[in-house]
Structure 1
């Protein structure tokens, strides 16, 4: 059985000082995923469930060690590991303190917090981003609720101890993506870096100090009710688009309104997170705890007052083409094979706005007396470009505007969140287009 393996080049970045993946600083980045619930969560059964999760998913109970004489890092399974559970009182402010707290990964790569706020509770799983992506983290959260609910019912679920560590995503991609495909992408990136102006980005407007009383790392939530979310989905279908594409269109339009100059077209890049599980052979299920996240970007010329639907169609068509070319898989491998400064500059280029769309999250089972109000997910690092994290839980869309207040001021980012919400509500009220005899395909 494999109870130790060397970290891949992709994974090593998450455990190396000052490392970046593209424009994103990833070294030591924590991933927070959890649920706010009405009712009281019992810490005793929750501790047992956390131990079961660590038993089933071996990366959760690993430590990172020097793997050999060459200094390579390795994951080593800890047979005696039990995840820590911190229990405290507090609501939203306590949650913000948590996501702003430095994480000590020496004690383990997985732990949890239980926050109690009057009649409500908040369970937060804290996972090192080097061993999990958003998709597997939300799947782990759902498994936590299934196990907790079964335990409350007196049955429990089997928790067989798994020892074999899953292969890293770049290890799995190596036999799938050819060297020629990676070289082709590097050539394209080098050409793009040497031609044309850099994409417009939001200028820093904070004082550069990390002393915001509410915490350096911030999030503003846009929460739509089930009716508005349903109307937005219906509008997307009527226009041959996805909700994700419409979100990108609305976000680009909202960000363009904050950019200078206020008139004329600006070059902008919409970054999108991409899940590589479907690129692996065999395809990896979401239930496997592993970081399989990559990304892609769409370059657009965006006028002031641009139509979100037109922007959404551009993003949709470009994303479809990029996925057909397997750009996210090629990008992850290309980042390890940079040959010169032009390619390095292209990798460092910051998107104007980045979007991480988790998609639909299944409604979690809960014991009698508990009901989930909302799910949450958060990952941020110092100097990271602003991003949106979107997901739909129980028919309600949540979009989080996430940013570093040492770089981007709360007033302007708050306006971005309000403008984005207004744009999404307007899109949801937009009637279906007149029949043309053509049938668009949703991306």
Structure 2
């Protein structure tokens, strides 16, 4: 039994250490649970493991407990006090199979096991990792991906496609639940399904401004239609999603819908809701790194004014047709920068232009980096939960600087930080410290997820617009971009409590002009 108040430490110990050691000793975890009915309903843990034979189980437990890694892991977990109040004198008896008979003595519900096998169980729960909990507690808000189609969809077939997607991606059937001990992710048999909303009520700004309840579903999928067009919106709580994941799932949803109209039912993928987290991948491969900004860092230029509290989010949108998009990409290549660096350079010059009488001023863009392909080893492109973190750069910008020049300087810093795994080491330090690591001051954020595969749609429908954005409350405006069907779309999201509309409008005007110049 665990000591009172030590459940979070027990969960962290299992997630960060015990599960890896069990796997190393070829011990197959079926589930870990605690009793809800019986003599020890508040703090008794049960673990069920699968062995080939009783002899194999007896042969495995002794070296497991004798391993130096187990002693070291237990010492780490109990640094703040003992976890176990009354440990068992001997390891639990081996079971020949994973089947456990129900009885009158106790019933169980699942606790975190990292990676699980087999189909998800009703009311399964997994405690959030430290990273995920921070996003939840900060109530960051939703990340939204939306697509506009010319034509109408079959609402019943789209509802069926949503149910199939919920089947294959159980995270869509999950909700967050906050308890006294921890924040848990709770899996249900069915998800919320497809929400039908009035035309014009599920635009990007509408979805971003929907407030979050304390106990809330991870995802919301909505559909609106008028006589000529359809808007399909895919909003995921930032504690459980990010832009790349949501755009990928939206594309998969349209693929399911297209298959259904062709008479093809997608085969089940057999995925688990509680796959290994980004936190597990980082802790397994990276050492802690610096968590403090440089002592001599200059205050970054900001457009934000004083605000008593955050306000509503507003969006300024840009679209570039394929020819203009190709011209921008070509201009970036000629300048020796990426399109993302060119966008950051143009926005940095536009922010700097708001202070025409000043000399060189420090502008600090932050870049949202998808860590899925960058951890070692990489994790799946559709790995659940938020797998994005910020990397902050800074450069002095003068009135005569050009976007390509600024983008080149910013790009060099960004590449150096990525090459040195700066984000990974910082996040591991953050996890060890038990609190978010401070970041240097930020002028604005750029998140460009690049060229995406075209959305699959059936005959009679055509994609006319596709966008995505995340909640950006506070003094840092954020630029979100992607390229679909050859069209670059950009959305600048800002908090009206911190930014005046006329200032943002002037930045947008300058930014658009700078990009138009680069096309020529």
Kindly indicate whether residue 243 of structure 2 is the aligned counterpart of residue 142 of structure 1.
Answer: no
Residues in 2 aligned to 1:222 and 1:156: alpha-carbon distance in whole angstroms: 37
* TM-score normalised by L of structure 2: 0.72
2:517 is matched with 426
Pairing 1:176-187 to 2, within 5 Å after superposition = 176-179=285-288, 182=289, 185-186=290-291
2:344 is matched with 248
Contact 1:85 1:112 in 2 (8 A): yes
1:330 is matched with 425
Pairing 1:259-298 to 2, within 5 Å after superposition = 260=355, 262-298=357-393
Which digits, 9 at most, give the CA deviation of each residue in 1:121-167, with x for residues without a partner?
10001211111111111111110111111111111211344335112
Change (3 A) 1:255 1:7: same
Kindly indicate whether residue 447 of structure 2 is the aligned counterpart of residue 352 of structure 1.
Answer: no
After TM superposition, give the deviation of residue 32 of structure 1 in Å.
1.2
- What secondary structure is seen at the aligned counterpart in 1 of 2:285? coil
1:308 is matched with 403
Change (3 A) 1:173 1:305: same
Gaps of 5+ in 1: 20-26, 211-215, 430-443
1:7 is matched with 128
After TM superposition, give the deviation of residue 283 of structure 1 in Å.
1.4
2:334 is matched with 238
Alignment equivalent of 1:124, drawn from 208, 230, 233:
233
Contact 2:141 2:211 in 1 (8 A): no
- What secondary structure is seen at the aligned counterpart in 1 of 2:416? helix
2:217 is matched with 108
After TM superposition, give the deviation of residue 200 of structure 1 in Å.
1.5
1:204 is matched with 305
Residues in 1 aligned to 2:507 and 2:343: alpha-carbon distance in whole angstroms: 13
* TM-score normalised by L of structure 1: 0.84
Instruction: Tell me the C-alpha RMSD between the 2 structures.
Output: 2.4
Residues in 1 aligned to 2:481 and 2:434: alpha-carbon distance in whole angstroms: 35
After TM superposition, give the deviation of residue 317 of structure 1 in Å.
1.1
Change (3 A) 1:39 1:384: farther
After TM superposition, give the deviation of residue 285 of structure 1 in Å.
2.4
Residues in 2 aligned to 1:105 and 1:126: alpha-carbon distance in whole angstroms: 17
Contact 2:310 2:474 in 1 (8 A): no
Contact 2:327 2:519 in 1 (8 A): yes
Runs of 4+ in 1 over 6 A off after TM superposition: 205-209
- What secondary structure is seen at the aligned counterpart in 2 of 1:351? coil
2:7 is matched with none
Contact 1:58 1:77 in 2 (8 A): yes
Change (3 A) 1:86 1:384: farther
Change (3 A) 1:93 1:141: closer
Q: How many residues align?
A: 399
Residues in 1 aligned to 2:450 and 2:351: alpha-carbon distance in whole angstroms: 22
Considering Cα pairs closer than 8 Å and 6+ residues apart, tell me whether 1 or 2 has the greater RCO: 1
Pairing 1:393-408 to 2, within 5 Å after superposition = 393-408=484-499
After TM superposition, give the deviation of residue 90 of structure 1 in Å.
2.1
Residues in 2 aligned to 1:131 and 1:73: alpha-carbon distance in whole angstroms: 12
Alignment equivalent of 1:366, drawn from 438, 442, 457:
457
After TM superposition, give the deviation of residue 274 of structure 1 in Å.
0.5
Change (3 A) 1:170 1:312: same
After TM superposition, give the deviation of residue 380 of structure 1 in Å.
1.4
1:152 is matched with 261
1:133 is matched with 242
Residues in 1 aligned to 2:330 and 2:467: alpha-carbon distance in whole angstroms: 25
2:79 is matched with none
- What secondary structure is seen at the aligned counterpart in 2 of 1:91? coil
Residues in 1 aligned to 2:128 and 2:320: alpha-carbon distance in whole angstroms: 41
Residues in 2 aligned to 1:338 and 1:363: alpha-carbon distance in whole angstroms: 42
Contact 1:59 1:77 in 2 (8 A): yes
- What secondary structure is seen at the aligned counterpart in 2 of 1:174? helix
Q: Which has the larger Rg?
A: 2
After TM superposition, give the deviation of residue 227 of structure 1 in Å.
1.0
Change (3 A) 1:159 1:274: same
Contact 1:57 1:288 in 2 (8 A): no
- What secondary structure is seen at the aligned counterpart in 1 of 2:234? strand
Which digits, 9 at most, give the CA deviation of each residue in 1:330-386, with x for residues without a partner?
23223334599xx96x42x43111100111111111011111112111221432510
- What secondary structure is seen at the aligned counterpart in 2 of 1:90? coil
Residues in 1 aligned to 2:383 and 2:335: alpha-carbon distance in whole angstroms: 35
Residues in 2 aligned to 1:207 and 1:106: alpha-carbon distance in whole angstroms: 26
